[in-house]
Chains A and B, each alone.
Chain A
Amino acid sequence: MADSTLITLISLAVTVLFMLGTPVLLVIFYWVVACSFVIDLPLDNTGAEMLNVFNKGFALLAMPLFILTGDLINKSGIARRLSDFAYACLGWLRGGLAMASIGACGLFAAISGSNSATTATIGSMLHPEMVKGGYDERFSAATAAAGGTVGIIIPPSIIFIVYGFLMNLPISDLFVAGIIPGTLMVLGMMVTCFVICSINGWGYLIRLSFMRVTKTAIGAWLGFFAIGLVLWGIYTGKFSPTEAAGVTVGFCIIVGLLSYPMNKMMGTDADTPVSEKSVTSMFVVEGFTLFDIPSIVVRSAQITGILAPLIAVSVVMQQVLSAMGAQETIGSFVTSMGGYYPVLFTAMAMVFVAGMILESLPVTIILAPILAPIAASVGVDPIHFSVIFLVGASIGFITPPYGLNLYVASGVTGVPYFRLLRYSSLYLISLIAVWILVALTPELALWLLPDR
C-alpha cells in the first residue's frame, strides 16, 4: 500500500478516536507514532522531543508564568477590579456585563499573554455573575471563549514571541503591531455582544456615572501598573518577555501578600458593592496569604499540565510533517495562486483550516516558515503578515472541532462543548470581519510602529 494511502487511513483512524472522546494529546501522539512507522522515522525522536521542547527554550517559560500571573491577579482581586472598571464604563449599554467581560479579557490579555489563561480567568470569574444576571449560560461561556482570543494578540503574547523567534523579526515590533488589531477584535466582539443582548433583552442596565468610573479606575490601578510594568520592561529591553512574566509573578505575589492584611484592617471584602466602598479602600485589593499560594499554583499547574504536553507532541507532529514533505507541497500550492491578494487570502484560508484542527502553536510552527516567505515575495510586509497570520491563529481558538478556548471555557464553566457553538459562531463572524479588515489595511498593524 502506498505511503499516502496509509497516512490517509491513519488520519481517519485518529479522527475516529477524536470523535470517540480520546484526549487530543493522545490523538496527536498516535498520529505521530503511526506516521513515524510509515515513513521510517525512529520513534526515539518522539521521546527526545518530549524533553527537548522544554529544556531548549527559555522563551517557552513565558507560558507557565503568564498562566500563573493570570491566576495570581485573579486571586488577589486585581482581575475583579479590572472587570469592575470595564463594567462601570460599559454597564449603561444593553449586555453591559457581557461587554465588560470582553473588555476585561482585553485588559487581562495586556498582563497575561495567554488565551487559555484569559478565558479560564474571566470565564470562571464572570460566568456565574452573567448567569445570575439573566444571561443565557451558553452565551456567557461562549463570551469567555471568544474574549480569550485577544489574549494572544494584545501584547504581551506568547505566540508573537514564538513567531518572532521563528521568523527572526523584532518581538517588540510585533507587540506594537498587535495593539490596534487586538483592540479592533475587542470592539468587534463587543458589537456582536450588544446586538445579541439587545435582541434577547439580556442584562440589567446601570447608569453611566463619572464618579463610579473614576472610583473603579482607582481600584484597578494595580492592574494598570502591572500592564505598564510588563510593557515598559519589554519595550525598553530591560527584560525579556519571559523575565517580564517572572517579574509580574513576583509583583503579584508581593501585592497579594501586602494587600491582605491592609484590606483586613480596612474591613472591606470582595462582595461589598463598589458604591459602598470608600475611595481609600479602593487602593487596596483583597490579596491572599502565603497559605493560599499552593492552591493558586496548583490551578496554574493544572492548565500548564494540559497545554505544555500538547505543545511537545505538536512539535513532533511538525517534524513528521516536514519529513513527509508537507512544506514543499503547501508552498508550491500557495505560490501557484499568483499575485498579492490571491496569495494572501489562500494563506489566510490555510491558517483558518489549520486552526480548526490544531492548536495555535503548532499552526504557527508548521505554517509560518512556509507561508511568510511566500507572502513576502509578493510584497506583503513581514510585520503585517505576522499580524494577519496570528489573528487567524487566534480565531482558531473558537473554531470547532479543535477550538482550545471552547474546551477551556467548557471546562471552567461546566457548559458542554457543543452547547457553546451556537453563540461562539456569532463571535466568529465578527472576528473574521476584523481579520479581513486587518488583512486589507496594512496601516492597522503598521501605523504605531516607529520610523517606518
Chain B
Amino acid sequence: MSILGDAATIVTRTISGDIDFQVVNAYRSQAAWVVFVPLTLIGGLAVYYLYRAVPWLERNLERTIVVWSYILMALIIFSGVIQRFFLSGQPAWSTTVPPLIFMIMAWYGCSFNVRLRTHLSFNEFRTKFSRKGQIAVLSLDAVLWLMFCMIVITTVSREVVRSYSNFQIVLGTDNTMQWWFLITIPVAFILMAGRVFENLFEDWSNYRNNRPLINQAVIGGDV
C-alpha cells in the first residue's frame, strides 16, 4: 500500500478503534511519520493556544498530573507494605502498576521542566553570546525539542498500538490494559510540544522587546 494509503488507514482506523494486523503494519511503515509529524506540530500549537485561552490549565495541568501520580504511586507502595505486615497480604498489582504510574509522572514532569527550562545543560558559553547568538541557540533548542517530540510520539505510538492489538494486560490484574497507561505518553509529548512553542514565542518576544533572553534556572524555584 502507498504511504498516503497507510496514513489514511492509521487516521481512520485509529479514530474508529478498529485496530487489526493491517493497521499495526501501517503504523510500522513510513506513513506513521506522515501522520505524527504534522500531528505533533498541530497538537503543539493547539496546546499553546489552549494555554493562552485558559491560563489556569497552563499553570496547573502538568502539575496536577505529576502530583497525583506521585502521591498515588507512593500510596500504593506504602499501603502494599502495610497490607503485607498487618493484613492478609498485598495485591499482586501493587508492584506492577506503580512503575506505569512512574512512567507517566516522569514524562509529564519532563514536559513541565521544558517550560521551566530546568533540564540539565551547560549554559556558560551561551550566556556570553550576543543577543543574536542567544536567540539563535534558543531557536535551535526549540527545533531540537520539537524533533524530539516528533520522533518519540511516532515511535511510542507504534508501541501503543502494538500493545493494544496484543491485548496486553497489566500483570497482576484481570482486565487492566497496558495501553491505557501507554497512550498517555504521546499526549505528554504533545503537551511538551506546546511548551516548546510557548518558550519559542516568548524568546522571540523578549528578543524584539530587548528584554534579557537567558536567565539562570533554579530547580524548585518556580513551584
Contacts and interface: CB of A to CB of B under 8 A. Distances in A.
B78 A250 contact: yes
Interface residues of B, number: 65
Contacts of B217: 411
Contact of A54 (B80, B106, B120): B106
Nearest to B134: A21
A20 B140 CA distance: 10
Q: Considering residues B63, B73, B122, B152, which has the most beta carbons from chain A within 10 angstroms of its beta carbon?
A: B122
Interface of B is mostly: helix
A407 B124 contact: no
Contacts of A196: none
A295 interface: yes
Contact of A51 (B82, B103, B219): B103
Interface string A22-52: 1111100110010000000001101110110
A56 B80 CA distance: 19
Given A47-B156, A65-B74, A298-B223, A417 B124 contact: yes
B140 A408 contact: no
B212 interface: no
Interface in A291-340: 293-295, 297-306, 308-310, 312
A416 B124 CA distance: 7
A78 B102 CA distance: 26
B120 A404 contact: yes
B95 to A, nearest CB: 5
Contact of B220 (A23, A48, A61, A299): A299
A58 interface: yes
Contacts of B85: 238
A124 B155 contact: no
Interface residues of A, number: 68
Given A60-B102, A68-B74, A243-B81, A21 B137 contact: yes
Given A20-B140, A247-B78, A299 B121 contact: no
Nearest to A23: B119
A19 interface: yes
Interface in A102-149: 120, 124
A50 B185 contact: yes
18 contacts: A19-B125, A21-B126, A22-B144, A26-B144, A30-B144, A33-B151, A43-B155, A47-B158, A54-B102, A61-B102, A120-B220, A305-B108, A306-B219, A308-B102, A308-B110, A309-B110, A412-B220, A417-B124
